[in-house]
Amino acid sequence: MKKLFIIIAVLASTVLAQAQNYATMYMDSIQSGDFHYCSDEVDGLILYRGEPNCTSWYFVVNDEVIQNVESIVLDNSEWYNYVVYHGCQYIRYMDIYFETFDVQNPFAEPIIWKHPWESVVLNAPHMYGCEVHWYNDSTGYEIEVTEPDTCSVTITNIYGCGSEIFSVCVYDNIEIYRAGSDYLTGRNKITWIVDPAMASVYDSVKVMRDVYIMAGCVPYQDGEFIDNITSDDRSHMYQIFGILPDGTECPIISYKKGTPYCRFEENLSDSTLYMAINLPYIEGGQSTLAYFNVYKYTGSPDLIPVDTYIIPGSGDVYLTSYSLSNFYDGQAIIGFVFIDRRGHEQEAFTNLSMYITNPDGINENEGNSFKVYPNPVSSGGIVTIEGATRLTISNTIGQTVYESYSQDGTHRLSIEYPGIYFIKSYGVETKKLIIK
């Protein structure tokens, strides 16, 4: 009867092993040691005593003694089991592990944007029985990425229970170094630094005007975008997107809020042009304004250098002065020179809209061509101009504030805002009007 029971137990274990994919182990064919099984490959383990002539034996499973059974079944729901087999001829001590490989992606997003650029630390999960291998052959759980790159990590279970590769792209966002008005076209222009290392990353750049209006799309390697808007208002806000080859749009928080602005005043006693320059606020740029060059523009694309001004300290308002004689018969152009984080100098131009016709063109109403009185005059007061059939009045940044035609050459007008204005009679001369 006992022999029949043993045969039935062996048959039952064999059926269980076949039906549920259990691994098997015989005590007379192994040595003591550690044994690892992959829980996603086997449902458990059946241990057979393996001594057919032994009459007294027992198993100890996690401190529980089980006597005189042909086999025991260990389910893979228990990650670890400590087993002792005490037979007639030998004793076996076994640590049995059912390994799992359930690793989560260590990267929350597929792309990490760093702007301004700084190094990025990537971490792999700490998992028992697993090895880590990074794309740069590093095997630690943590690496530092010092340059934009596509980074991957392979996590492998050393007992063959699984392997997974995870990737993340660490990109340097497009670096804007200038947003302003193009001096030749007068249109809004956004310029970025073309990084050869990023040429394979970005396919093109999309520009949105006032955030929601599509302004256009250009190749990344062009390095600039000129808006075709014809409005005289150049204070639009812009946001640009780097477009990846797969069409993914990577927003860059980079707005242009106005253009470089310059305020002029002239001192006739020493023939000096004073300029107070305000720079626009630009997000997304990492360059530093180092100095600016002053040019004269006479209509040709070739600018005539006048002077270079080194900027003291930092800030967004800079004061300087130049001799008026440098700008006669020409328009002042400022070239802002930025130094990007790679040490390269980039010059961006802005039109300062200050045109001086000749040394005698700006004066205190001396001359016989036309008269301006009273001058100075209080804000809102009546100004009379005699002897000018057609005239134009502009402010110090070149904006026309008044135009008039009078057959008898007499004009009466009022200007509300205090400041310095220039009255030009066509074909004659230019005079200065001061509103207090």
Whether the predicted pLDDT of 233 surpasses 60:
no
In this prediction, residue 351 carries a pLDDT of: 52
Report the side by side order of strands in the sheet with 130-134. Answer: 111-114, 163-172, 149-157, 130-134
In this prediction, residue 311 carries a pLDDT of: 59
- DSSP-derived 3-state class of residue 10: helix
Whole-structure pTM value: 0.49
**Per-residue confidence at 234, pLDDT binned at 50, 70, 90?**
low
% pLDDT > 90, the chain = 22
**Least confident window among 62-76, 90-104, 264-278, 375-389:** 264-278
Across the range 335-351, mean pLDDT stands at 63
**Per-residue confidence at 3, pLDDT binned at 50, 70, 90?**
very low
Whether the predicted pLDDT of 397 surpasses 50:
yes
Q: Does domain 371-435 have CATH number 2.60.40.1930?
A: yes
Over residues 60-79, the pLDDT tens digits come to 999 999 999 999 999 998 99
In this prediction, residue 246 carries a pLDDT of: 80
Q: Where are the domains of the chain?
A: 2-99, 111-171, 261-356, 371-435
| Residues 301, 281 contacting (CB under 8 angstroms) | no
The CATH fold assigned to 261-356 is Immunoglobulin-like (2.60.40)
Q: 359: cis peptide before it, omega within 30°?
A: no
In this prediction, residue 172 carries a pLDDT of: 72
| Residues 103, 156 contacting (CB under 8 angstroms) | no
Instruction: Give 354-421 as a DSSP string.
Output: EEE--TTSS-SS-SSS-EEESSSB-TT-EEEEES-SEEEEE-TTS-EEEEEE-TTSEEEEE--S-EEE
**Per-residue confidence at 363, pLDDT binned at 50, 70, 90?**
very low
Across the range 328-336, mean pLDDT stands at 64
**Per-residue confidence at 326, pLDDT binned at 50, 70, 90?**
low
Residue with tokens 């980039």: 346
Over residues 191-211, the pLDDT tens digits come to 787 877 677 778 888 888 876
Whether the predicted pLDDT of 100 surpasses 70:
yes
Whether the predicted pLDDT of 286 surpasses 70:
no
Average pLDDT over the chain, rounded to an integer: 75
**Least confident window among 10-24, 139-153, 239-253:** 10-24
Task: Return the top range by mean pLDDT from 146-150, 278-282, 288-292.
Answer: 146-150
In this prediction, residue 33 carries a pLDDT of: 94
**Per-residue confidence at 274, pLDDT binned at 50, 70, 90?**
low
- Residue 111 and residue 124: Cα distance in Å, rounded? 16
In this prediction, residue 66 carries a pLDDT of: 94
In this prediction, residue 406 carries a pLDDT of: 77
In this prediction, residue 165 carries a pLDDT of: 93
In this prediction, residue 321 carries a pLDDT of: 59
Question: How do 188-193 and 213-219 pair as beta strands?
Answer: unpaired
| Residues 106, 124 contacting (CB under 8 angstroms) | yes
Question: What is the maximum span of the chain, computed from C-alpha positions, in angstroms?
Answer: 141
In this prediction, residue 186 carries a pLDDT of: 66
**Could you check whether 261-356 and 371-435 share the same CATH topology?**
yes
Q: Give the DSSP H or E segment for 332.
A: strand 330-339
Whether the predicted pLDDT of 269 surpasses 50:
no
**Least confident window among 53-67, 165-179, 247-261:** 247-261
In this prediction, residue 118 carries a pLDDT of: 77
- Residue 266 and residue 275: Cα distance in Å, rounded? 9
Across the range 16-38, mean pLDDT stands at 84
- Residue 236 and residue 206: Cα distance in Å, rounded? 16
Whether the predicted pLDDT of 212 surpasses 50:
yes
List 378's β-bridge partners, or say none.
Answer: none
